[in-house]
């Protein structure tokens, strides 16, 4: 059995041959009485759970991020090898900048939990949740939206709200993940995010950008996220409206409007102060942006 070519587990590359190796080793070290994994090269829920369980058993709860990486602690433990030691700095740096770079290089080898990437995302992203509650929106947009939703439902439409206020720190994490991944900002130039302990600079540019790309993928980012989104201000909503084949709605002025096109529905929304961004199917806001 050879070495891993890529990472396996939560947020990993999960190449088939690598997953087969991990599944086989997990089976060999599974607790007595526990069922064996199917060695099929697919990193499914049972395999991901088995990785986390192994990490908790062998290395403690703090290390249970569900990810196995070549040359790192979990891979060594799974193969029954001694744990990789932290790499010590071998020479005194000439100035403060070199000192910081040397420290980062050392902590990379020691799996510094502050370093950006898939591991950081899995351990921390849940601390910065977005909201799908209308109650979290700002007034008067909150009241305007409630009135529009009531009119939609009174007309027989069903509405599913998927997002309202966006967590500011999450928006910044998404924005700078994109910028670092695409070379639009140097990792060591990313400004601090209030209440968020993350280190974007891994000591070399290639590794730093690769870690940022992992976060872009895990955040499911397709376009560069904005730092000035109406969602951050609490003045936007993403919602899916399903209307009956024959649909009429009362606008904010009390007029009944038969909806025969999307533009008519958008006009009714605007009468309530809820404006449609046509280029983004679920997005409505206080100003149409």
Spell out the domain ranges in the chain: 8-78, 105-128+169-228, 137-166+231-285
Q: What is the mean pLDDT of residues 21-26?
A: 90
- Determine phi and psi for 120, rounding to 5 degrees: -60, -45
Contacts 24+ apart (CB under 8 A), 84-93: 84/109, 86/110
Q: How far apart are alpha carbons 85 and 263 in whole angstroms?
A: 63
Q: Which helix (H) or strand (E) holds 68?
A: strand 67-68
Q: What is the mean pLDDT of residues 146-159?
A: 96
pLDDT recorded at residue 90:
43
Reported confidence tier of residue 67, pLDDT bands at 50, 70, 90? confident
- pLDDT of 64 > 60? The answer is yes
- pLDDT of 83 > 70? The answer is no
As a whole-number percent, the residues of the chain with pLDDT over 90 amount to 52
Burial 169-208 (b: 16+ CB within 10 A, else e): bbbbbbbbbbbbbeeebebbebeebeebebbbbbbeeebb
């Amino acid at each position: 059995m050879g070495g891993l070519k890529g990472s396996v587990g939560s947020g990993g590359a999960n190449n088939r041959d690598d997953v087969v190796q991990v599944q086989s080793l997990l089976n060999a070290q599974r607790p007595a009485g526990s069922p064996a994994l199917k060695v099929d090269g697919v990193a499914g829920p049972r395999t991901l759970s088995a990785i986390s369980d192994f990490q908790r058993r062998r290395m403690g709860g703090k290390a249970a991020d569900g990810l196995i990486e070549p040359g790192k602690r979990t891979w060594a433990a799974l193969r029954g090898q001694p744990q990789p030691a932290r790499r010590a700095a071998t020479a005194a740096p000439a100035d403060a900048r070199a000192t910081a770079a040397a420290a980062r290089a050392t902590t990379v080898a020691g799996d510094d939990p502050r370093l950006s990437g898939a591991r950081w995302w899995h351990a921390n992203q849940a601390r910065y949740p977005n909201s799908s509650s209308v109650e979290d929106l700002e007034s008067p947009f909150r009241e305007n939206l409630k009135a529009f939703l009531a009119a939609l439902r009174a007309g027989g439409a069903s509405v599913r709200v998927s997002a309202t206020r966006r967590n500011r720190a999450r928006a910044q994490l998404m924005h700078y993940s994109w910028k670092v991944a695409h070379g639009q900002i140097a990792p060591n130039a990313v400004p601090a995010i209030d209440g968020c302990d993350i280190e974007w600079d891994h000591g070399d540019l290639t590794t730093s950008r690769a870690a940022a790309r992992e976060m872009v993928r895990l955040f499911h980012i397709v376009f560069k996220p904005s730092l000035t989104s109406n969602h951050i201000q609490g003045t936007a909503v993403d919602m899916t409206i399903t209307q009956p084949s024959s649909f009429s709605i009362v606008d904010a002025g009390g007029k009944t409007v038969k909806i025969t096109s999307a533009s008519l529905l958008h006009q009714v929304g605007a009468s309530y102060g809820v404006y449609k961004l046509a280029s983004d199917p679920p997005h409505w806001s206080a100003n149409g942006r």
